[in-house]
């Protein structure tokens, strides 16, 4: 990958530069970030997904231990921690990789031709590896067996529909916020996931890498292996529907006056 040229940077608004970092492309479709190493991107995706899963699984274990069988309190704690961790990870790692941490998000940008098939494949593999590492790390911190097999059943039309809705909402949140206030994506994603944990019957996995990782934990956040496949399929459907819906919307303005609160000079965020 080549470094962004000075002329390219000068030709883009500050918000456009942020968009390029998020999607992994410049306006001509050339792969770009402020750091020109694909390896750096993949490491960022793996590390971000690892910390995300450590937060999801670890907070679930802690909440389940402390909530004294109060599932509502445990879910609230798990949702808040997950949303907070996403906000931090996206803010910190978006300038390096775009901070997808989610094959459904990567699929969305691939369908919009904003990331190449080669790079998106690398992203998905990095996300999957990071997810497994995050679950193992959570188990290690709590002195549990490092690799487990979940027994928690999560199936049925209601939960499958919930995963379509949750993933549609997540991808739509990202695409919609990029149109009007790109530097607010981290906060919007964190808030959306926190809310979606409560308004969806599936508690909003909305992420195939998260689903894979949660197969490997027989704790509060686990999902039985037999139920993971339908969840992942529904998540893919939700991502495709979100991209399709946004394809019918008019293009947002390219000049800075059409952007709300663009990032300040020298700083980027998601």
Kindly tell me if the per-residue pLDDT of 252 is higher than 70: no
Q: How far apart are CA 95 and CA 4, in angstroms?
A: 13
Write out the two tokens for 83: 């949303």
What's the chain's average pLDDT? Answer: 85
Question: For residue 269, is it within any domain?
Answer: no
Read off the pTM.
0.83
Mean pLDDT of all residues in 124-134: 98
Question: Chain-centre distance of CA 238, in angstroms?
Answer: 14
Mean pLDDT lowest for which of 68-72, 127-131, 152-156, 170-174? 68-72
Q: What mean pLDDT comes out for the span 141-162?
A: 98
Q: Tell me the percentage of the chain whose pLDDT exceeds 70.
A: 79
pLDDT(174) > 50 = yes
Residue 264 lies in a domain: no
pLDDT of residue 37: 87
User: How far is 85 from 67, CA to CA, in rounded Å?
Assistant: 21
Separation CA 101–CA 120 (nearest Å): 11
DSSP string spanning 68-108?
Answer: TT-HHHHHHHHHHHHHHHHHHHHHHHHHHH----SHHHHHH
The two three-digit tokens of residue 115, written as one number: 């990331």
C-alpha 206: how far from its chain's center? 8
Question: What is the share, in percent, of the chain residues with pLDDT greater than 90?
Answer: 77
Average pLDDT (3-17) is: 34
Q: Does 61 map to a domain? A: yes
pLDDT given at position 35: 40
Q: Does residue 263 fall inside a structural domain?
A: no
Give 215-240 pLDDT, tens digit per residue. 999 999 999 999 999 999 999 999 99
- pLDDT (0 to 100) of residue 249: 87
Query: What's the CA gap between 255 and 150, in Å, rounded?
Result: 50
**Is residue 101 assigned to a domain?**
yes
Check the CA dihedral 188-46-15-24 and report its sign.
negative
Residues 253-268: tens digit of each pLDDT: 443 333 333 334 434 3
Give per-residue pLDDT as tens, 52-100.
Answer: 999 999 999 999 999 988 999 999 999 999 999 999 999 999 999 999 9
CATH number of the CATH domain containing 233: 1.20.1080.10
DSSP letter at 219 equals: S
Length of the chain: 270
Q: Is residue 132's pLDDT more than 90?
A: yes
Q: Is residue 235 part of a domain?
A: yes
- Whether 266 maps to a domain, the answer reads no
Q: How many domains does the chain have?
A: 1
Q: Which domain holds residue 61?
A: 6-258
């Amino acid at each position: 990958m080549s470094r962004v040229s000075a002329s390219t940077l000068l030709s883009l608004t500050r918000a456009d530069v942020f968009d390029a970092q998020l999607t992994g492309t410049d306006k001509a479709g050339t792969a770009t970030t402020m750091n020109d190493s694909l390896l750096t991107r993949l490491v960022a995706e793996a590390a971000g997904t690892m910390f995300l899963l450590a937060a999801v699984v670890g907070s679930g274990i802690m909440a389940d231990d402390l909530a004294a069988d109060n599932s509502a309190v445990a879910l609230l704690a798990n949702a808040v921690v997950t949303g907070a961790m996403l906000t931090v990870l996206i803010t910190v790692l978006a300038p390096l990789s775009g901070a997808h941490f989610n094959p459904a998000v990567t699929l969305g940008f691939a369908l919009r031709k904003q990331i190449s098939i080669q790079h998106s494949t690398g992203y998905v593999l990095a996300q999957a590896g990071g997810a497994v590492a995050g679950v193992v790390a959570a188990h290690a911190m709590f002195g549990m067996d490092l690799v487990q097999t979940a027994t928690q059943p999560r199936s049925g039309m209601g939960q499958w529909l919930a995963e379509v809705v949750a993933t549609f909402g997540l991808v739509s949140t990202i695409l919609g916020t990029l149109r009007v206030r790109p530097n607010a994506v981290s906060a919007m994603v964190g808030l959306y996931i926190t809310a979606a944990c409560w308004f969806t019957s599936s508690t909003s996995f909305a992420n195939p890498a998260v689903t894979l990782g949660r197969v490997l934990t027989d704790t509060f956040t686990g999902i039985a292996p037999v139920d993971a496949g339908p969840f992942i399929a529904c998540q893919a459907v939700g991502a495709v529907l979100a991209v399709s819906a946004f394809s019918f919307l008019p293009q947002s303005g390219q000049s800075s006056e059409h952007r709300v609160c663009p990032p300040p000079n020298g700083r980027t965020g998601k």
